Each structure stands twice: as structure tokens, then as C-alpha cells.
Structure 1
Amino acid sequence: MSIATEKLAVDVEKIRKDFPILQREVNGYPLVYFDNAATSQTPQQVMDVIVDYYSNYNANIHRGVHSLSQEATDKYEAARKTIQKHFNAEKSYEIILTSGTTHGINLVASGFASLLKEGDEILVSALEHHSNIVPWQMICEKSGAKLKVIPMNEDGEIVYSEFENLLTEKTQIVFLNHVSNALGTVNPIKKIIDKAHSKGAAVLIDGAQAAPHIKADVQELDVDFYVASAHKMCGPTGVGMLYGKEEWLKKLPPYQGGGEMIATVTFEKTTYADLPHKFEAGTPNICGGIAFGAALDYMNAIGFDEIAAYEQELLKYATEELLKIEGVKLYGIAKEKTSVISFNIEGLHPYDIGTIVDKLGIAVRTGHHCAQPIMDFYKIPGTVRASFSFYNTKAEIDSFIEAVKKAKMMLS
């Protein structure tokens, strides 16, 4: 991992004042929130946008001529343009607003069901969240296509040479995460995208865990599909985005039928609307979409380079301190990783450790993190996962380390 040596530009004490939840106590202790890989916290600035929507212009979009509907539509479409700019999509209609990463993956997988046939192959990495495994297994059952798995090594990295061996002219799509939610590993997606394209395969990247830490440029990556969720980027739950190249979005059939995604409807025939509405059936999470744009504005005002540098400093510090505890074993020690630490203590169950540190006000995640194949690879039931964000501090890490030591003492 590369650690910035220059003076860090993140004013964490100022930033923390934007997050009311960080001021509360849990079990009589100041909250230490280290479950950011599951969901990030939301700043007051984004909450204000949500309240403003419901207080002042709550209305359905795209369909109404009245002022509130037009205002809501304008703000919703402005948010789409904010998302477009953030991910550097060429066109705003290449951004499909979804209910989250899982929705985006299922939308693409469902579309590929009509394109895949028996004998076709699709590739997935061994590092995936269940959301990027199960939909594709379902599509294989329907289409007869074969799912092949790119293996991982002990460090928690994809074995690239095996990917090259598995990639053939039969490969129709490669799908993998940009960053592993369980281990924090940053995958070499540009290299994988270019190689897959050389064989004529499409690529879908699950960006849910990368998006809070890495500003992905979809044009520079030349990726065909990229998905992310707002709730991991200081936004609300229930909203996310799918980027798709225009050529692919035109090729895929609609995922759902209903209002908004149509041009004309008769009982004899329906014609579909143009992008992006073709994939946005029904009333969307209007407020969520607007708040997603506000969350991106908030994070960009801090700066993603600054965020990444500060989080790497936290990761370095936490890793060093955790390894001072006898019996700690880390899982996922890739050279390139985001601010996630997955670990166990010899002889102790991760759930027990998580329960005790929670009693001390510290929120971590325990279990298989919806990445059971990774745990099966390591032959463990799960891990304790501490994941850091730009509003966390070294003092909080000190509290966490002391809590882990106490848990070890109590359980040993």
C-alpha cells in the first residue's frame, strides 16, 4: 500500500462536526463507527437536502406540468448530471439511477440472459460479494452458459495469470469488484478490462466498495458497465447508479416494465422509451437521487485524493497497532488495498470479539461479509472487519485497539 508522506489536507475535526451521529454514545461510550464498508454515515448537509425535498417540492417527476413536478424533475436530472460528471460518463443518459449496486448488477445480468446461449462462458472473480455471484448463477441456469471462477491467492489478490488462461473466445462477459468488501483488495481492473476486450468480452465492475475511496473514470477505464451505491458514499440507502456504454444499454432489453419506461402502449404492442428511461420503470427514489448528488458534492468538496491519502494513513496506523496484539492474523494483505482490515485472533470466534467491542461503543462487522467463498478459501467461519472513513481518527483506532485487547483477555 502506498502511504502519502505529505501533510494531510483533511481537517477531520471540522468534518466530524458535519455528522451528528458521531456525537452520540453507545452503551455509555462515545460511538466509534468502523463499519463504513457496510454503510457510511450521512452529513447534515445531505440530510438537509432530504428535508428540503419533502418540505418544499415533494412531487412526482417527468409527468407533471405543475411547478412542483417541474422543480423536482429539474433537481433529479441535475443530480444525474452530477453523477455523470463524477464518474466521467460521456453522456448523462448513460447513467441509470437504481435502488443500489445489487439492482444494477441484476439489471445487467437480466439483460444478458437474452444474449447468452449454451456453450457461452462468463467469468467471475473469487473475491466477489454474493450480489455479484448469485444473479449470474441464476442466468446460467436459464441460458446454459457456464460460470468460471478466477482464483485468488493467500494475500487476497486475483491470480491474473489464471484469468488469462480462463479468458477465451467463448467468454461473453467478465464481472468482478473494483475493491473487495471483505478484504479491501484493489483489483487491477484496467488491465482486466483491456484483456477482456481483446477477446471481445464485455466487463461489469462492481464499484460499491471502491466508490467511497477511488474516483473511477469510466471513460479512461473503458469499462462497459460500472455500478455503485449512494449509501456507501455519504448518501441515503435505496439509491445507486449503473453506468453503461450507450451501445450496450441500447442492446440490452428492459429489466422491468411499467410507467416511465415506455414511448407508446397499446394492447397490441409497446414501444420503449429512450435512455435512460428505458431502464427506470415506475416512480424512482426521487429524494434519494437528489441526495446522492448532494453527497457527491460533499465528498468532492473535501477531495478524493485527500480522502484516499488520509484513509491510507489510518489503515497504516491501525494495521501496525493491531499486529502488536499476539495471536492476530490478518486476511487480505494485498499490495493495493483500501482502508479495510479483516482479522481474527487465534482461538477466538469473530462474533464474540465483535459483541464485546460493541459493548464498549465500537461498531465493527463480523461474519462472512456476504463473501462466503472468500471465507471458504481461508477455511474460516468469518472475520472481524474494521473499515475506516475520512471522518475517523487515530484516537478512535486507539480505543478500538484497547477494546480488542480487552475482548481477547475476557475470551481467552
Structure 2
Amino acid sequence: MAVLQKLTSQQAIELEKTYGSNTYHPLPVVLSKGEGVYVWDVDGKRYYDFLSAYSAVNQGHCHPKIINAMVEQAQTLTLTSRAFYNDKLGLYEKYTCEYFGFDKLLPMNSGAEAVEAAMKVCRKWAYEVKGIDENQAKIIVCKNNFHGRTTTIVSFSSDSTANKNFGPYADAFIRIEYDNLDALEAALKNNNNVAGFLVEPIQGEAGVYVPSESYLAKAKALCEAHNVLFIADEIQTGVARTGKLLAVHHENVQPDILILGKALSGGAYPISAVLANNNIMDVMTPGTHGSTFGGNPLAAVIAIAALEVVKEENLAENARILGELFRSEMNKYIETSNIITKVRGKGLLNAVVVNDTEDSETAWNMCLALRDNGLIAKPTHGNIIRFAPPLVMNKEQLLDCVSIITKTFKQFEN
């Protein structure tokens, strides 16, 4: 079979360039194997993975418990569609609802699909429960957000690359500054038709921006005061990445609507979900939303296994401990550095800011050098490098990675 053909790195890259839509700019490394915190390229060179597929592989590459559950179910039943019941979906819904503390789960596949579904739930609740006039509901979003790239979502994106020439745009959104409670309060007071506030607890794609202490708790309180749903997009920050099961748990916040994806499957399969309590989710009735693959039995068993791994291996606590160590070690380096100005993050979701302009190639070249030294990461917004290794990493491995990172960065010191 063609997919089993062994390719050189250059052959693999050329095939993608020739036959693939040019929507990504990958780092030039061709990966063919993964295990735990490591990946290998087609030539057998091993790397530390410091991106984790944008935090989808929190449980490590090819975690045996997840893969075994996947293989066993794949040999039995993979898909029924929702035209029929299957014997795994209800188990997954119950387990996940109890895991995160909600009444109901709406199963989807990709993160962007889950965001779209959450917005639909929010709007339907606004019309049928809150009493907003039909077609008048607004959702507050934050500037520099990243919630996906569907046409609705790019309508409220600040990224011109994501939305230029994809109009006309949906206009039922109010954009405010992130981490600005005054702006949120003003938007709530000045608009009677606000249905929800959609927010990332940490803005990941924007460069790992951590909000001020108590921002999320106070934002939730403002939403409650105005009968507005607080919608947490935890697709990247959830499932133990930031040192808590959810990033909002750092402020003891329980969102009205929770959006999950990525590590919900441990990177083994596209799985996402929207969770809410009955008073919100019950507005959804047959025909109002759906997905052929959403809630399939294969996804259900994979997600259960992935969440069990998080709990059994104490990955949230490990992320908290190693994240503090990483930032501490990086700050020691930054004290004498003229190329890195800052490290920020929570748990094992971190970023460093390169002392150069956003349109420079310095961060990209640094990532090429990191690759050469056995660690792969990727820049975001030009002069920021995001670091997010699998949460199964141990202290010895983390310190080895810090050594690789600092030695590499020193090559770029003036």
C-alpha cells in the first residue's frame, strides 16, 4: 500500500507541497513515530516533543492504555451514527459529566465544531429561556482569541490571516479586550441582548497570555449578575494542561458551558465535547444539532481511557510541579539573557518572548536550532515560542529539555 511506502524527509515534504492545500507552515521535520514525550523522524533521530500537537497529546504519544482501548473497540464496532443507540456512548457521557461536574454532554469531533455547537446552545438558551428577541442575541468575545477557523469563528477573529477574504462575516459578536473587567462590564451593561461570554482561560495561540489573578472569577460573577452564560473554551487549556483539571479551576470557577477537545482523546482520535447543566442543555432537541461521527463508540472508549490516564497518573499535579520548575529555570537564564525577555504560563503551557519584532525570523531560526539539538517547538505570532510538552514528562527529562533550550538560545545571544 502507498501509505506504507518508506519516504525520505524530502519526499514527504514534497508530496505535501504538491498535493496538499497550503494552509500550514510546518517546521521542516518529518515525524514517523511517537512514544511518551518523544517523537522520531523518518531517519530515526529522536526529539523531545515540546508542542504535544497543540496540547492534544497531554497523556504522551501512543499511551498504551488509550491505544489498547482503541484497538479493542476498533475490532468490534467503530461507527453506528446517531440513527441508533450504541453501547458505549452513554457510558462515556456519564463518565465525562461526572468527571467535570455537569449534567449533560453534547459529543462532537473537532474543537471548532464544539465551539460552534456551544454558540448554538447559548443562542437557543437566550431565545427560549432568557427571552431575547429572535435573531438579536449577541456573544461577547475577546480580541486576539483563537477558537478555530470556521466561517463563523473567523468572523470575530483578530487575525487578518484567518479571516481576510472569507467574508461576509457574522456580526452577532461584541469584541472586548482580554483581561479587562471594565470592558466586560461595559459590554454587559450597554447591551440587553447579550447571551454569553466566550473566553479562553489562557489565550494559547495568541502567545500564552495568562490573565490577571481573579479575572475569571470576577468575569463569571459579572455574567451571573447579568444572566449571561460564561462559556469556557478549554480545548487547549483543559484536561490537566495548566496544573488543574481545568484552567478555570485555578479560580474555583465552574463555567455554564464548557468546551473540550484535543487531549480529550490523548491525541488518538478527533474527539470534542460541549458540557452544560440541564437548565441550559435541555433547549437542544432532536434535529437541532448533530454529527455523523459525534458520539461514535470508538471515540467513546478512547475518551474514557484518556481521562482515566489523567486521573490515574496524576497528570494535573505533575503539570503544576514541572511547570513551576520550568519557569523558575527559564527565569534564571533570562536574568543574564539579551535574547529572551520573558517566560509566562501555567502548568506545562508556557511561552518565551524573543527580543525581536513580530515580523522577524529569529524565533523561527531558534526553533530550527532546537530541532537540530533534539527538541521540537514552534513559534506563534512571530517572536513568541510556545512550550507545551506531554504531561507524562518527568523531572529529569524536563531539566534535560531546559538544558537543550538554554544552550540553544545562547547561540543567538549578541
- TM-score between the two structures when normalised by the length of structure 1: 0.70
Alignment partner of 1:343 out of 345, 352, 358 = 352
- In structure 2, relative to structure 1, the CA distance for the partners of 1:130 and 1:221 (3 Å cut) is closer
Alignment partner of 1:329 out of 326, 340, 343 = 340
- In structure 2, relative to structure 1, the CA distance for the partners of 1:236 and 1:22 (3 Å cut) is same
Asked if residue 243 in structure 1 is aligned to residue 275 in structure 2, the reply is: yes
Alignment correspondent of 1:149: 176
Asked if residue 215 in structure 1 is aligned to residue 245 in structure 2, the reply is: yes
Alignment partner of 1:35 out of 51, 57, 62 = 51
Cα deviations across residues 19-65 of structure 1 (Å, max 9, x unaligned)?
Answer: 8354654566542111134431341110011111122344526656x
Q: Distance in 2 between the 1:23 and 1:138 partners? A: 37
Alignment partner of 1:165 out of 173, 186, 195 = 186
Asked if residue 311 in structure 1 is aligned to residue 313 in structure 2, the reply is: no
- Once the 2 structures are TM-superposed, how far is the Cα of residue 365 of structure 1 from its aligned partner? 1.8
Asked if residue 356 in structure 1 is aligned to residue 369 in structure 2, the reply is: yes
Alignment correspondent of 1:195: 222
Alignment partner of 1:105 out of 92, 96, 115 = 115
- Once the 2 structures are TM-superposed, how far is the Cα of residue 208 of structure 1 from its aligned partner? 1.4
Q: Contact 2:265 / 2:302 at 8 angstroms: preserved in 1?
A: no
- Once the 2 structures are TM-superposed, how far is the Cα of residue 82 of structure 1 from its aligned partner? 1.5
Q: Distance in 2 between the 1:346 and 1:144 partners? A: 37
Query: Residues 119-134 of structure 1 correspond to what in structure 2 (within 5 A)?
Result: 121-131=138-148
- Once the 2 structures are TM-superposed, how far is the Cα of residue 197 of structure 1 from its aligned partner? 1.7
Structure 2 counterpart SS, 1:31: strand
Q: Contact 2:370 / 2:404 at 8 angstroms: preserved in 1?
A: no
Structure 2 counterpart SS, 1:74: coil
Alignment correspondent of 1:398: 400
Alignment correspondent of 2:21: none
* One-letter amino acid of the counterpart of residue 180, structure 2: V
Asked if residue 388 in structure 1 is aligned to residue 389 in structure 2, the reply is: yes
Q: Contact 2:147 / 2:153 at 8 angstroms: preserved in 1?
A: no
- In structure 2, relative to structure 1, the CA distance for the partners of 1:159 and 1:338 (3 Å cut) is farther
**Bigger mean CA offset, 352-361 vs 279-288:** 279-288
- Once the 2 structures are TM-superposed, how far is the Cα of residue 101 of structure 1 from its aligned partner? 2.4
Alignment partner of 2:35 out of 6, 17, 20 = 20
- Once the 2 structures are TM-superposed, how far is the Cα of residue 232 of structure 1 from its aligned partner? 6.0
Alignment correspondent of 2:411: 409
- Once the 2 structures are TM-superposed, how far is the Cα of residue 241 of structure 1 from its aligned partner? 0.9
Percent pairwise identity: 10
Q: Distance in 2 between the 1:144 and 1:25 partners? A: 45
Q: Which runs of 5+ in 2 are unaligned?
A: 1-33, 128-132, 157-166
* One-letter amino acid of the counterpart of residue 79, structure 1: Y
**Bigger mean CA offset, 38-47 vs 293-302:** 38-47
Alignment partner of 2:71 out of 51, 63, 66 = 51
- In structure 2, relative to structure 1, the CA distance for the partners of 1:30 and 1:318 (3 Å cut) is farther
> What is the aligned length?
341
- In structure 2, relative to structure 1, the CA distance for the partners of 1:175 and 1:356 (3 Å cut) is same
- Once the 2 structures are TM-superposed, how far is the Cα of residue 403 of structure 1 from its aligned partner? 4.5
Q: Distance in 2 between the 1:325 and 1:49 partners? A: 48
- Once the 2 structures are TM-superposed, how far is the Cα of residue 196 of structure 1 from its aligned partner? 0.9
- In structure 2, relative to structure 1, the CA distance for the partners of 1:346 and 1:390 (3 Å cut) is same
- In structure 2, relative to structure 1, the CA distance for the partners of 1:85 and 1:405 (3 Å cut) is same
- TM-score between the two structures when normalised by the length of structure 2: 0.70
Structure 2 counterpart SS, 1:56: coil
- Cα RMSD (Å) of the superposition? 3.5
